[in-house]
Structure 1
Amino acid sequence: MDSPTVKDDMMDEMTAKSAKRSDPLLMSVLKSRFEAIVREMTLVVMRASRSAVIKNARDFSCAILTYDHRIVSTENALPIHVASMDLVTKPITELFDDIRPGDIFINNSPYHGSTHHADFTLCMPVFFDGEPLFWAMALSHHADTGAPVPTTYLPFAKTIYEEGIHFPCVRMMRDYKEIDDVIRIGLTRNRVPELWLGDLRAQIGACRTAERRLGELLAKYGRDGIITYVEDWFEYGRTMAIAEIKKLPAGTYRYQTRHDPVPGVADDGIPVCVEVTVDPVEGMITVDVRDNIDNVPGGLNLTENTCTGSCRMAVFNNIDASIPHNHGSASRIKVLMREGSAIGKPRYPVGTSVATTNVNDRLISAGSCAFSEMGAPFGQAEGGGHLPVGVGVVSGFDPFKDGQPYVNQVFVGYAGSGARHGYDGWLTYCGPANGGMINLDSVEVDEAMYPFVIESRGVEKDTQGFGEFEGSPGVGGVFYPVDHDMTLVYAADGTTFPPRGVLGGHAASPTRSEKRLSDGTVATLPAFNAEICEQGQKLMFLASGGGGYGDPKARAPERVVRSINRGWLSPEKAVEVYGVSVSFDDAKAEYVLSSAQ
Structure 2
Amino acid sequence: MGTLDPILMSVMANRLDGIVREMTNTLLRAARSAVISSARDFSCCLVTGDDQLLAPAEGLPVHIFGCHIQTANMRRYHAGDIRRGDAYLDNDPYGGNTHPADHTFMVPVFHQGEHLFTSVAKCHMADIGNSIPSSYFVLAKDVYHEGALVFPGVRIQRDFKNIEDIVRMCRARIRVPDQWYGDYLAGLGSARVAERRLEEFCAKYGTATVKRFISDWFDYSERRMIDNIRRLPKATLVNKGRSDPLEGILPGGLELTVRIEIDPEEATIHVDISDNPPCVDVGLNTSLGAATSAVVGAIFNALEKDIPRNAGSFRRLRFTYAEESVVAAPRFPHSCSMGTTNVSERLVNITQSAFAQLGDGHGLAEGGTGLGAGMAVISGKDARRGGAPFVNRMMLSTNGGPASPVADGWVNYAIPVIAGLMYRDSVEVDELKHPLRVNAISIVGDSAGAGRRRGAPAQTIDLTPTGNDVIAVISCDGQHAPPRGVAGGHDGTAGMTWRIGANGDGTRLPNVIQVTLRKGEVLRGRDSAGGGYGDPLEREPERVLHDVLEGWESRAKAERVYGVLFTGEIEDETLAVDEAATAAARAALKATRKSTHAS
What is the TM-score when the length of structure 1 is the normalising length? 0.95
Give the distance between the partners of 2:324 and 2:248, measured in 1 at CA: 19
In structure 1, what is the equivalent of residue 180 of structure 2?
196
What SS is found at the alignment partner of 1:495? coil
Q: Quick check: 1:32 aligned with 2:11?
A: no
Q: Quick check: 1:566 aligned with 2:550?
A: yes
Question: 1:105-144 counterparts in 2 under 5 A?
Answer: 105-144=88-127
Give the distance between the partners of 2:224 and 2:14, measured in 1 at CA: 18
Match of 1:81 among 63, 68, 73: 63
Q: Quick check: 1:50 aligned with 2:32?
A: yes
Cα contact 2:269–2:316 (8 A) shared by 1: yes
Q: CA RMSD in A?
A: 1.2
Cα contact 1:461–1:473 (8 A) shared by 2: yes
Note the alpha carbon deviations across 1:372-400, whole angstroms, 9 max, x for none: 11111101111111411110000010011
Give the distance between the partners of 1:124 and 1:478, measured in 2 at CA: 42
Q: After alignment, is 218-227 or 501-510 more displaced?
A: 501-510
What SS is found at the alignment partner of 1:371? helix
For structure 2, the residue ranges without an aligned partner over 5 or more in a row are 583-599
Tell me the amino acid that sits aligned with residue 258 of structure 1: R
Q: Quick check: 1:593 aligned with 2:568?
A: no
Tell me the amino acid that sits aligned with residue 227 of structure 1: K
Cα contact 1:385–1:431 (8 A) shared by 2: yes
Question: 1:290-305 counterparts in 2 under 5 A?
Answer: 290-305=274-289
Question: 1:470-481 counterparts in 2 under 5 A?
Answer: 470-481=454-465
What SS is found at the alignment partner of 1:162? helix
Identity, % of aligned positions: 39
Give the distance between the partners of 1:587 and 1:443, measured in 2 at CA: 30
Cα contact 1:89–1:113 (8 A) shared by 2: no
Give the distance between the partners of 1:214 and 1:386, measured in 2 at CA: 38
Cα contact 1:266–1:296 (8 A) shared by 2: no
What is the TM-score when the length of structure 2 is the normalising length? 0.95
- Deviation of the 1:580 alpha carbon: 1.2
Cα contact 1:564–1:591 (8 A) shared by 2: no
Give the distance between the partners of 1:148 and 1:32, measured in 2 at CA: 43
- Deviation of the 1:551 alpha carbon: 2.0
Note the alpha carbon deviations across 1:26-81, whole angstroms, 9 max, x for none: 11111111111111111111111000000000001111100111011111211111
Task: Specify whether residues 586 and 458 from structure 1 end up closer, same or farther in structure 2 by C-alpha distance, changes over 3 A only.
Answer: closer
For structure 1, the residue ranges without an aligned partner over 5 or more in a row are 1-18
Q: After alignment, is 334-343 or 550-559 more displaced?
A: 550-559
Match of 1:155 among 129, 138, 150: 138
Give the distance between the partners of 2:250 and 2:281, measured in 1 at CA: 8
- Deviation of the 1:221 alpha carbon: 0.8
Q: After alignment, is 562-571 or 85-94 more displaced?
A: 85-94
Question: 1:291-370 counterparts in 2 under 5 A?
Answer: 291-370=275-354
In structure 2, what is the equivalent of residue 538 of structure 1?
522
Give the distance between the partners of 2:537 and 2:486, measured in 1 at CA: 14
Question: 1:406-421 counterparts in 2 under 5 A?
Answer: 406-421=390-405
Give the distance between the partners of 1:71 and 1:356, measured in 2 at CA: 19
In structure 2, what is the equivalent of residue 3 of structure 1?
none
Q: Quick check: 1:463 aligned with 2:450?
A: no
Give the distance between the partners of 2:76 and 2:398, measured in 1 at CA: 39
- Deviation of the 1:335 alpha carbon: 1.8
- Deviation of the 1:497 alpha carbon: 0.7
Question: 1:268-279 counterparts in 2 under 5 A?
Answer: 268-279=252-263
In structure 1, what is the equivalent of residue 212 of structure 2?
228
Give the distance between the partners of 2:550 and 2:480, measured in 1 at CA: 28
In structure 2, what is the equivalent of residue 444 of structure 1?
428
In structure 2, what is the equivalent of residue 550 of structure 1?
534
- Deviation of the 1:554 alpha carbon: 2.2
Cα contact 1:288–1:336 (8 A) shared by 2: yes
Tell me the amino acid that sits aligned with residue 413 of structure 1: S
Question: 1:523-534 counterparts in 2 under 5 A?
Answer: 523-534=507-518
Cα contact 1:492–1:513 (8 A) shared by 2: no
Note the alpha carbon deviations across 1:487-531, whole angstroms, 9 max, x for none: 100122121111111122111111010011011111111110101
Q: After alignment, is 547-556 or 304-313 more displaced?
A: 547-556
Give the distance between the partners of 1:166 and 1:496, measured in 2 at CA: 32
Q: After alignment, is 97-106 or 583-592 more displaced?
A: 583-592
Give the distance between the partners of 1:265 and 1:373, measured in 2 at CA: 33
Cα contact 2:483–2:530 (8 A) shared by 1: yes
Cα contact 2:262–2:268 (8 A) shared by 1: yes
Give the distance between the partners of 1:540 and 1:584, measured in 2 at CA: 35
What SS is found at the alignment partner of 1:373? helix
Cα contact 1:430–1:436 (8 A) shared by 2: yes
Cα contact 1:249–1:374 (8 A) shared by 2: yes
